[in-house]
Structure 1
Amino acid sequence: MNSQSIGQSFYLHYGWKFLLADAFPLSNALEKWKDANGKYFYEADFNEENWQAVTLPHTFNDVDLFRARIQDAGSGQKRTFGFYRKWITVPKEHNGHKVLLEFEGLRQTCYLYVNGKLAGYYEAGVAPFGFDITQFIRYDGENLIAVATDNTTTRNISACVAETPNKPDVIPGSYQAPQEKGAKVEHEGVGFFWNCNDFNPSVGGITRPVKIHFKPQVYLTLPLYSNLQTKGCYIYGSNYNLDKRTAQICVDAEIRNEGNTPVNAWLEATLCKLDGTKVFSFTSTKQTIAPVDTISTPLSITPEDAYIWSDEKQAYVPQDESLVADTITDSVSVSLLSATSDTQKLRFWSIDDPYLYRVHISLHTDEGCQDSTCIETGFYKLGYDKDRGVTVNDEPVWLRGYAQRATNEWAAIGIAPEWLKDMDAKLIRESNANHIRFMHVAGTPADVRSYDRHGVVCTQPAGDKERENFGRQWDQRVELMRDVIIAFRNHPSIFFWEAGNNSINKEHMREMRLLKEKLDPNRGRFMGCRTINTLDVLEESEYIGTMLNRHAARFLAEHGPITETEYLREEAPRRIWDDFTPPNFDYDNKWGGKGGRKQSGIDFYDLTSEDLAIAAARGYSEFFHDRIGGGSHKDWYSATATLCWTDSAQHGRQAYSENGRMSGRVDAVRNKKQNFDIFRVMQSGTPALKIVGHWNYPAQTGDNYRYPLKTFNGSYWENTGEYAYRDPKNKTVYVFGSYHIAKIELSVNGKTIGVCDKPDATFVFAFPGVDITEHGEIHAIGYNYNGNVIAEDTICTVGEPAKLVFTLHTSPAGLLADGADVAYADIQVVDNEGRICPLCDSRIDFTLEGEGIFLGGYNSGRFEGFGKDDSVIHENHVYAECGYNRVFVRSTTTAGKLRLTAHMDGLEPVTVECMTKPVDLSDYALTELVADYAAYPEEIPVNTQYIPAIPESDEHKYVPEDQLYCKILIDGQEPDTRGVRSVNKNGCIWGAVLCILERLTGSVPPGTYEFNYDEAAKTLTLTSDGHTVIAEAGRTHLLVDGNENLMDGEPYVTDTNQFVMEVSAIVSYVKGIKAYYDDKVNVFRIETE
């Protein structure tokens, strides 16, 4: 067989045409864009007039992400249908071969047409998927590939996509999920629970890579269960000898024979370094592979028994869960070949040394090589020790990092090319983090690849929102987890599979665990859940997630790893330093007050960057001390993740002042926020410190330090029209020091102004009474417990803006002229000595000449609407924030010179130039994406990811909690208690009772109870089952039907206006509930009938 005719794969990225259909559902979009001859977009002779030429990956939301004011429902980006068209011809050497299309994922739907016919569809919106389009292909002419995709979601929309029942009489795309009362839909269907804009921001278009595979009749399958119903190759190590650094490598490969006769087949696997150097090869035994029957190519693999016809609704409805067959995981019409190497010397993958190999797998028959694939992976031994935590190659690691929405979107560009995701991963590592927990849905293959390359451990979910599902929506979750495990199981960075974003029952946990054991049995990974509330669920899990440390316990850690999944929800924008910085000497906002609720047009937080730093320390310190080996000696946690890595387009709570969720360590274009350095110090395994803020505070003259006084009007804190002045000669300066630091000495202009050896929250060294108007230099020196200097930091007063510094960054291959690649340019406003001017917020304009498209950049606090019109998204200017910012340029498909100039009033313009690199834009030229790999040192690095205990530091810094905090659950789910922590006081459970009663209302039949809270009188009245119960702040007894009933203390109202009382004393009067305390996990359980 000619070597050119074996199986081949290419990225199908060039030569596409795009139209924003701006209509929903699919039937409306199709009708809206029929051409003058009545042709639909997927027909060959459709008129493409006015369609846009694009290169994949592509999004139509780069223009509107972060453009509007943020809402609880997320960003206001367009959610609708888009159409794509592309013509291909099959190369002569692949005449007669199978033709498969692979999509790395698409949000939310993909309706694929080939030569005018529907070839398949996928609507789950998360995992990679593929289609066998062989039967639609013309080998002797051009073929039209057409894709309709929509990114509709829940929240602020009349209806969004629902799952199409897999029935022959159903038109795909005709089922919708109404989101507004009275919304008219073709057929009401079951939506995908994770398809929400608030927790899973929707970025539309073909936003991930697409590949075309040409396969001979005997071939290796692809790991794309939807819709190919195959699992591809699975690679893993075994028999690890860590002392000798040896292991055996195993390959399990699915083979399909679609020829007419049996064949003798075997595998050859070759392990190579990234530079192509061969390390070793091994083969399987020969096996006779019989031909299979004709393979059907279903339009969808949604289970046919999932829906039944309803005469009443004249539509298909979900079948009863008990009558539906188990989720199918078996591949269709395949054989399995397995090969195992001899014991071989290997360089193992680890966080410090993310060493990757390329495993080339070839399928041979007696007639020669038939097919091949290359899988990039790493090998390591993953384990858990109850006394050391998670181990990699038998070395303990402390996993710390961030909980990030899986969309991982960027402002200005919408989506990032592969190499820019590497830049993101390197930033994560620079912050001394090593863990990303993707939230709600699976992270993309490109993100996971970048974490493979740079040593960032992943927690990978499938699909969920905020609670357990049953019926069809649960089965959708299991099917998605099947697809995700199959697609991602060769990626070394994934340690944890997450079954749910909240608690699930034992049957569901068992189902997910057994799914992992069947599909990923040999990599040592853990299946668990963000929240596990009962012992029977624990026994079915392999790791335990907590949220805000509400139910961790030592016996849980003895079972498996505990990971804190999303602490620190607070927000602060990058541009606001503190309350002593001009121009406002305040965060000018519309704050709803402590304990306020999320509401449109009101800010939930009133935090500066300095405030967020202190909040971060209080958050991380708790889990750091509760880690295995930590200062509390509780020995609970193996991993932790703070919310979030980036400022994002998810649901935001600064709903008056901001254009995104401001919880990131970096902003929406990955500019470092001050919180980046805070986490870099706190998470450091070596001594580090950082002075918070700047040293350019103005003189105490004129209106400097004047700030508006505010009063609470019942909804928010509003300006009174009066002003006061802050005292800049009496400010507290904060220095953050890592775990290793015993004390910090702070000096101004060489004069010591204080020594602090009693940090707050482990990391915060406070220096009150500092005169911040004394310009010059502020210097911090950190000492260890032996009195030695181990870390220093200095901030100087910076002069007036004198010039711009402009730096252009491209991929390792340069800026490719492919129409999709981007370059970013960092702009800094500096003084005469080249130091960034921390207070500069001036406008900077840009002009672009040559072969590029200017995409602009990002600023916090600027948006369109509600009386504002200052968004910078896709504008020709940005504003400096803290003296710097970043802008982007996209390439065209013509190579040439690009010249970008920045202008700022009062300063000389500066220019950067580059030549874009010519690219072969033919259909089958692209075989590899540009990536930026970690450099591998010759010497294998030692493990630096475990932070050993320093007894003196633990004794000095760890402060035990003075109360027994617990958790209140209603039917296993945790209500939002508005920041009030529940407490077990002598067996009596105290908490935010109104939050509990509000949540309980939805769990009992209507009329079971009523309650009323008189805010002025601070009195709660509950009626249920013929009883009236009254609780009053300051009174130690309940009145039950007029009779006194003594409690364990007096109810009270917090400074966040939450009514707190003995919850256990009042809920027992609600008819039909059972309430009891679970000592083992410190949980007060309220269970309804």
Structure 2
Amino acid sequence: MLRCWLCRLCFLAFVFLAKGVFPANGQTLTHRTVSIDEGWRFHLGDASDPARDFGYGLETIFSKSGKAGGTAIDARFNDSAWDPVRLPHDWAETLPFVPSDNFDVASHGFKPIGGRFPQTSIGWYRRHLAVPASDSGARFVLQFDGIFRDARIWINGFYLGRNESGYLGASYDITDYLDFHHDNVLVVRVDATQYEGWFYEGAGIYRHAWLHTYQPVYIPSDGLFIHAEVAEPPAAPAPGGLATTAVSAPGTPTSSVAIVHVETTVIGNRFVTDTCTVVTCLTTREGRRIGAPVYTPVALAPGGLAATQATAQATAQATARVPTARLWSPDDPYLYRATVLIMQDGKVIDSTTQRFGIKTVRLDAEKGLFLNGTHLEIKGVDCHQDHAGVGSAVPDALQYYRVRLLKAMGVNAYRTAHAAPTPELLDACDSLGLLVLDENRLLNSSPEYLDQWERLIRRDRSRACVFLWSIGNEEGHIQTRATGRRIAETLIQRQRLLDPTRTCTYAADLPDVYQGVNEVIPVRGFNYRQFAVADYHRDHPGQPIIGTEMGSTVTTRGFYNPDPVTGAFRVDSARGYLPDQDISAPWWASRAETWWTLAAAQPWWMGGFVWTGFDYRGEPTPFAWPVIHSHFGLMDDCGFPKNIYYYYQSWWTNREVLHISPHWNWKGREGQPIAVWVNSNADQVELRLNGKSLGEKAMPRNGHLEWTVPFAPGRLEAIAHKGSQKFKTAVETTGAPYRIVLEPDTNAITADGKDALVVNVHVVDQQGREVPDAQNLIHFALNGAPARFIGAGNGDPTSHEPDQYPAGGWQRHLFNGKCQVILQAAGGSTAASGPTITVRAEADGLQPAEVTIRTGP
């Protein structure tokens, strides 16, 4: 009888959740997760002068609980003169560039952050927080998703703790310290004087912050572990004629019987034995219920502290059968939902809904990787987390924007080099379909770093997109020694304990070493050293192999610099530019065509990840000042494609690809030779200049074509044949810039102060042809509904223009024809001022442009 009653109650609650009667994210009124991104105030401190650091280091703050006299920690401190900011916030992005001969400063993009810059490497954040007395019986957990770097956190003068990871967030139960009748004051001191990486990392609370309100018995934010067992479909043929049975074509949804396991962690905070029932319900993406709810009784007995400030912890196991499971893949990223309720005394006291995918991953040392029974080559990219204009404080919408650009190129996998990613990136990969190699920051098994490793796995182990873990990256001599082996064994063991459904790799920059980490790592990762891979596989045939970093061609978007005699493209060391072709690579790396030709020919080589998907701030290889960001990207740091993008698109997609480079604006070089490259997956390509054929050539598999063409103004056309299909493309000599063109990535934006929209900018001549070598200075303005620009960029690796203009006057030069601005609409911007935003762009001597963006709730 009880079970029937619970079933009816659960089903009603579940229907309410599905229809949105309960609050967003599947939460009941007794479990709220509220963003606390807004309402912060910020001020720089000083690592070398306590007087400029609000007394920190001088005043005694740890002698008594809540003691904070004379410092910014004190709740009574007057912060009205501090700058208002909203999270995510990266204060390093607002700092000027500074020349330096120091490697660390150069590799971090010449921003004055680190121990050499004490006046700009400490940041203080304060926020007032009101909590109603009606919630005084609840538990409150403060959650930061990411702070760079060493953060100390207080509330009402009480010290909560220290988080030393710049990439993994931290949570604190603040219940005991709250004042329900006055404002509470959160204080965060961020110390960015120590780097973690050798690339731009930003500074500040650069990811979201949340306040969770729970009942005394609740599910923590990482409390669900969802995984499935699937009867894998018969395998499709792998390259090389492997004897397997074909299944559906790529992109076709596949199905199989799946057994889904949902493990729910329940925390209790009362010093009595609590009993409750955990109810687990599965639904399709469309909201259809799968099977009956599963009821699991749980007893929470008081005892030792099993979790932070929790008196008890238990795990509820639930299993459900999905008879015709639709399998998640990059071609069909289908996500189910699991809703879990906690019921006590006939009431729902907590609930959460989590998306999950069902898939199979099999790694075969001889046959490669199989996803859902079908052989799959990893066509991946490595990426850092910053973007032009916003640094590391990347809005959620921009994560989706970047993933869409990668998908359009043919990318099916993403490596989070070299640290825990923001959760919103994984949201985008789950939804849009990118496999993720989730990477640990440091090869270390000390308590601090084991805790970071465990937090990463617990946070991300239910993700559909995560297919493999990485225990670390390029750890020098440690990786070849017994010390490295022992650390690796500890990390591997912890990973298997926390997530037995996956395995792990390590990104090793060694050609043929089989000692230390490589002796014990389940999947051998290669960073470069592509010519050693075949010999390693011959000597160690039982170890699967993946390219964790490959390629690393260095290019500058839209730059060519042809030699007047040969037409070959040359490096411009004075300006810090490299030809925008697959020509130049550092000594340790290779051109794109070199590594991919090798990998694509071997089914046991599981493909790999190209360094990198986007340019990023820092590591200005092979240059130094004034170059302030990398040249490794297949796209620049705005996401504008370089020519190498089209090489990969040719061989990583099935679409018709035909791309000519360079542009055909070479005034003053008439009669001089120009090296012309064609990227395509066609069988044959003919090149014509002003209607005259320059010859037809067969396209080599995984290659490209070249012609040397004496420049003459006009139309350079490529005509491709692929089977019975014929397709064309052309570049033309353009006139002078005449009119600005604005291209938003979408025509609508949510008016919540969080959503973001990208506006790409170029100019055209009087005939409407894009001018690829324009360098005009563009001025921007916003009108209509309240909105703000949050960043600007153009992909120029030597540009020292500000990325942000807090006082107004936003502007940016075009770089080789392009630039970009990013905007946000203020919350409630559909009020009296109107429901639209107008973006206007002007430049001297050019016709201006306007674009209208709709806003909505």
The number of equivalent residue pairs is 770
Q: Secondary structure at the match of 1:204?
A: coil
Is this contact kept in 1: 2:132–2:181, CA < 8 A? no
Matched ranges for 1:483-494 at <5 A: 483-494=455-466
Distance 1:244 1:771, change over 3 A: closer
For 1:276 and 1:613, the matched residues in 2 are separated by 51
Shift of 1:697: 2.5
Shift of 1:477: 3.6
Asked if 1:265 corresponds to 2:276, the answer is yes
Is this contact kept in 1: 2:525–2:546, CA < 8 A? yes
Match of 2:743 in 1: 807
* Aligned Cα root-mean-square deviation (Å): 3.5
Match of 1:773 in 2: 712
Q: Deviations over 1:109-138 (max 9, x none)?
A: 221111111122211222132111111112
Asked if 1:797 corresponds to 2:718, the answer is no
Counterpart among 885, 888, 894 of residue 822 in structure 2? 888
Q: Deviations over 1:415-443 (max 9, x none)?
A: 22111110100001111111222223222
Equivalent AA in structure 2 for residue 18 of structure 1: F
Is this contact kept in 2: 1:7–1:214, CA < 8 A? yes
Match of 2:678 in 1: 735
Match of 1:841 in 2: 775
Match of 1:652 in 2: 620
Is this contact kept in 1: 2:382–2:613, CA < 8 A? yes
For 1:536 and 1:414, the matched residues in 2 are separated by 34
Is this contact kept in 2: 1:268–1:281, CA < 8 A? no
Matched ranges for 1:109-188 at <5 A: 109-154=150-195
Q: Deviations over 1:462-514 (max 9, x none)?
A: 113xxx66xxx755443322221111111121122111212353322221211
Is this contact kept in 2: 1:496–1:528, CA < 8 A? no
Q: Deviations over 1:1034-1055 (max 9, x none)?
A: xxxxxxxxxxxxxxxxxxxxxx
Matched ranges for 1:492-641 at <5 A: 492-502=464-474, 503=479, 505-522=484-501, 524-531=502-509, 533-534=513-514, 537-538=517-518, 540-548=520-528, 549=530, 551-552=532-533, 553-555=536-538, 558-579=541-562, 589-590=572-573, 607-610=578-581, 612=583, 619-627=591-599, 630-631=600-601, 635-641=603-609
Is this contact kept in 2: 1:384–1:561, CA < 8 A? yes
Matched ranges for 1:167-246 at <5 A: 195-196=196-197, 198-199=198-199, 201-223=200-222, 232-240=223-231, 242=233, 245-246=256-257
For 1:296 and 1:525, the matched residues in 2 are separated by 26
Q: Secondary structure at the match of 1:208?
A: coil
Q: Which moved more, 1:369-378 or 1:533-542?
A: 533-542
For 1:8 and 1:280, the matched residues in 2 are separated by 28
Q: Which moved more, 1:344-353 or 1:799-808?
A: 799-808
Matched ranges for 1:66-105 at <5 A: 72-79=106-113, 80-105=121-146
TM-score (structure 2 length as normaliser): 0.82
Match of 1:1016 in 2: none
Q: Secondary structure at the match of 2:401?
A: helix
Is this contact kept in 2: 1:282–1:339, CA < 8 A? no
Shift of 1:809: 4.2
Equivalent AA in structure 2 for residue 455 of structure 1: G
Asked if 1:382 corresponds to 2:361, the answer is yes
Match of 2:239 in 1: none
Is this contact kept in 2: 1:564–1:639, CA < 8 A? yes
Distance 1:65 1:765, change over 3 A: farther
Is this contact kept in 2: 1:59–1:204, CA < 8 A? yes
Counterpart among 60, 68, 72 of residue 41 in structure 1? 72
Q: Deviations over 1:836-895 (max 9, x none)?
A: 11122222222344533344522455768xxxx755654632222232221233444562
For 2:671 and 2:582, the matched residues in 1 are separated by 17
Match of 1:429 in 2: 407
For 2:561 and 2:393, the matched residues in 1 are separated by 32
Equivalent AA in structure 2 for residue 76 of structure 1: F
Shift of 1:250: 0.7
Is this contact kept in 2: 1:16–1:55, CA < 8 A? yes
For 2:699 and 2:855, the matched residues in 1 are separated by 55
Distance 1:903 1:256, change over 3 A: closer
Q: Secondary structure at the match of 1:484?
A: helix
For 2:81 and 2:517, the matched residues in 1 are separated by 56
Match of 1:362 in 2: 341
Is this contact kept in 1: 2:473–2:506, CA < 8 A? no
Distance 1:251 1:799, change over 3 A: same
Shift of 1:811: 8.2
Match of 2:373 in 1: 394
Counterpart among 764, 779, 803 of residue 704 in structure 2? 764
Equivalent AA in structure 2 for residue 608 of structure 1: P
Counterpart among 40, 43, 51 of residue 19 in structure 1? 43
Structure 1: gaps of 5 or more residues: 155-194, 224-231, 299-330, 592-601, 699-703, 706-726, 919-1089
Distance 1:38 1:342, change over 3 A: closer
For 1:75 and 1:743, the matched residues in 2 are separated by 43
Equivalent AA in structure 2 for residue 249 of structure 1: V
Match of 1:746 in 2: 687
Equivalent AA in structure 1 for residue 684 of structure 2: K
Counterpart among 89, 97, 117 of residue 58 in structure 1? 89
Equivalent AA in structure 2 for residue 673 of structure 1: K
Match of 1:911 in 2: 850
Shift of 1:544: 0.8
Distance 1:547 1:260, change over 3 A: closer
Distance 1:332 1:30, change over 3 A: farther
Equivalent AA in structure 2 for residue 6 of structure 1: T
For 2:686 and 2:571, the matched residues in 1 are separated by 33
Shift of 1:546: 0.9
Distance 1:476 1:288, change over 3 A: closer
Is this contact kept in 2: 1:825–1:888, CA < 8 A? yes
Equivalent AA in structure 1 for residue 201 of structure 2: S
Distance 1:297 1:734, change over 3 A: closer
Q: Secondary structure at the match of 2:201?
A: coil
Shift of 1:73: 2.8
Distance 1:657 1:772, change over 3 A: farther
Match of 1:857 in 2: 792
Equivalent AA in structure 1 for residue 546 of structure 2: T
Shift of 1:221: 2.9
TM-score (structure 1 length as normaliser): 0.65
Equivalent AA in structure 1 for residue 578 of structure 2: L
Q: Secondary structure at the match of 2:53?
A: helix
For 2:98 and 2:370, the matched residues in 1 are separated by 44
For 2:387 and 2:751, the matched residues in 1 are separated by 21
Asked if 1:286 corresponds to 2:278, the answer is no
Is this contact kept in 1: 2:646–2:679, CA < 8 A? no
For 1:348 and 1:685, the matched residues in 2 are separated by 22
Shift of 1:656: 4.0
Distance 1:742 1:293, change over 3 A: closer
For 1:24 and 1:374, the matched residues in 2 are separated by 47
Q: Deviations over 1:364-386 (max 9, x none)?
A: 23442221122222111111234
